[in-house]
């Protein structure tokens, strides 16, 4: 059987991103326009830093005690995204720095408010790994790790979703007695999408001795894709190159008992075949 090692190809045709000026808003903690929601211990031992009155957001679930099954979220005020949308800056990102001692089933999740459905929606994957395992108290005193969110594509948002937008940093201890975290004040900004975004979620299925189907997620509007493949460890550009017009795409005439690497690039300019 053939083993496939999956990688992504990022070349010139993937284009570029430019940071926008339409929306670039720091939370400016302490900020009384933010709010804390959830079910949590509000004592100073547990709520080590309240972003309404301090420059950081920190919760120590260990000091909250066994009697609390804690959920807590720092929630932004409403941020109208209409101007960013009208400027065609339809990628929204959040950046900050944080420290987190993960334990059991607890996790941290960035979420945004969908004003159409009146519900919070997960924005990217949850944070569920340590940044520093040995942090136990006074979490804001430790060195922090950069956090950059996935881009949130608002190109299909309704006017209600745009004008009612807000976001939050949500923590749950999962019903366990866990540790804690600290966040610096985040910044939210809008961004012009690249003309040809990179593909994601490259996958290989239905492998035989000589063929394999490869698929990916197209994050733009490309209908052609450049594929470069070869034996594992081959130098990019020296393998076999094809231009695919369908997703998934079948690669043929492969060598049996050989590990392969695949590189896929959106081609938004022209058909090069």
Q: In angstroms, rounded to a whole number, what is the distance separating the alpha carbons of residues 191 and 20?
A: 5
Using CA atoms, how far residue 190 sits from 24, 79, 81, 168, 206, in Å, is 7, 12, 9, 17, 40
Domain-wise residue ranges, the chain: 4-14+195-267, 18-192
pLDDT, tens digit only, all 273 positions of the chain = 344 444 434 333 333 334 447 999 999 999 999 999 999 999 999 999 999 999 999 999 888 887 778 999 999 999 999 999 999 999 999 999 999 999 889 999 999 999 999 999 999 999 999 998 888 889 999 999 999 999 999 999 999 999 999 999 999 998 888 899 999 999 999 999 877 788 888 999 999 989 999 999 988 778 889 999 999 889 888 899 999 999 999 999 999 888 899 899 888 764 333
Give the pLDDT of residue 160: 98
Q: How far apart are the first and last CA of the chain?
A: 30
- Residues counted in the chain: 273
Alpha carbons within 13 angstroms on the beta-carbon side of residue 54 total 15
**Residue 263: beta bridge partners?**
228
Using CA atoms, how far residue 152 sits from 44, 112, 147, 189, 232, in Å, is 34, 9, 15, 11, 34
Of the candidates 3, 2, 11, the one whose C-alpha atom is nearest the C-alpha of residue 263 is 11
Give the pLDDT of residue 17: 39
Q: In angstroms, rounded to a whole number, what is the distance separating the alpha carbons of residues 257 and 145?
A: 42
Give the pLDDT of residue 100: 96
Tokens of 192: 């012009």
Give the pLDDT of residue 184: 99
What is the CATH code for 18-192?
A: 2.60.120.200
Give the pLDDT of residue 273: 35
Q: In angstroms, rounded to a whole number, what is the distance separating the alpha carbons of residues 239 and 227?
A: 10
Using CA atoms, how far residue 183 sits from 60, 97, 199, in Å, is 12, 6, 31
What is the CATH code for 4-14+195-267?
A: 2.60.40.10
Q: Strands 212-217 and 200-205, how do they pair?
A: antiparallel
């Amino acid at each position: 059987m053939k083993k496939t090692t999956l990688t992504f190809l990022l070349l010139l045709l993937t284009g570029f991103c430019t940071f926008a000026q339409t929306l670039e808003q720091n939370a400016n903690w302490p900020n009384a326009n933010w709010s804390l929601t959830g079910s949590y211990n509000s004592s100073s031992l547990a709520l080590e830093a309240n972003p309404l009155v301090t420059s950081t957001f920190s919760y120590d679930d260990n000091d909250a005690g066994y009697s609390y099954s804690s959920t807590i979220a720092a929630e932004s005020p409403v941020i109208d995204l209409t101007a960013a949308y009208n400027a065609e800056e339809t990628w929204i990102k959040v950046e900050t720095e944080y420290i987190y001692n993960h334990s059991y089933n607890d996790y941290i999740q960035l979420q945004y408010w969908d004003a159409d459905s009146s519900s919070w929606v997960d924005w990217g994957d949850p944070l569920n790994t340590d940044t520093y395992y040995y942090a136990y108290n006074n979490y804001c005193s430790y060195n922090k790790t950069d956090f950059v969110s996935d881009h949130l594509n608002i190109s299909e948002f309704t006017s209600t979703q745009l004008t009612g937008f807000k976001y939050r940093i949500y923590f749950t201890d999962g019903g366990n007695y866990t540790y804690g975290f600290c966040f610096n004040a985040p910044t939210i900004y809008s961004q012009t999408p690249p003309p040809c975004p990179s593909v994601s979620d490259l996958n290989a299925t239905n492998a035989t001795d000589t063929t394999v189907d490869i698929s990916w997620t197209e994050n733009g509007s490309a209908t052609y894709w450049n594929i470069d493949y070869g034996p594992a460890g081959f130098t990019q550009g020296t393998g076999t190159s094809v231009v695919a017009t369908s997703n998934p795409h079948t690669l043929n005439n492969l060598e049996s008992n050989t590990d392969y690497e695949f590189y896929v690039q959106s081609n938004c300019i022209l058909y090069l075949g």
